[in-house]
Amino acid sequence: MTDIVSYCMLAVLVAALTLTQADQPLEENKRNYQIQADERFAYFQAAAGQDGQIDAKELQEVMIASGIQHGGFSRATCVTMIIMLDRDHSGYMGYDEFNQFVETIDQWKVTFQQFDSSDRSATLDGNELSQGLQSFGYNLSPQALGIMMQRYGIGGRVQFDNFLSLVIKLKSLTDQFRARDTAHDATATFGYDDFIQVAMFL
């Protein structure tokens, strides 16, 4: 009887130890995520100051200082990033928007790397770009893709910085279009002034 009790106690101890070890990676990931979030907040707060908002120049500084994007992004890309999340057209980004922005960038970076897998050139050619955009749900004509390659490509290839600008603008334009496509039939009506406001802001 004593042997059976001892065996049961040992089995329970092993099971508890196994569960504890299994939980360690999860707990470590949580701690690492919290550390990263705290570091991001510190960098953001330093750039934002008392108003708790950052503009395109400050976003550029935070991206470099925090290491989220080594080398940072161009000023034009940072302006486009703020526009994507700027609901009130203030030209600024708060911390919650910044967190959303970082998560979105991480997702897009994974997509970029996924479709750059064939040659690891840190760029996308026209075919890779088309596949990447399709994975986001954008089924575009060859003519539209050609215009994008002319606008955002260099030597027939799109770098990550320009890829972000392209995707942000495409998403923002699509959001504006869908807001006016009330019949959900892929058509929208723009007044001239409305069109100018959308085009100029983006």
Rg (CA), the chain: 23
Q: What is the pLDDT of residue 17?
A: 45
Identify any residues that bridge with 124 across adjacent strands, giving them in sequence order. 158
Identify any residues that bridge with 139 across adjacent strands, giving them in sequence order. none
Model's pTM, two decimal places?
0.70
Tell me the pLDDT tens digit for each residue of 35-85.
Answer: 556 777 888 888 887 888 998 888 888 888 777 665 667 788 888 888 777
Question: Which residue has better confidence, 125 or 200?
Answer: 125
Q: CA-based angle 27:32:36, to the nearest 5? A: 150
Q: Tell me the two tokens of residue 53.
A: 């908002």
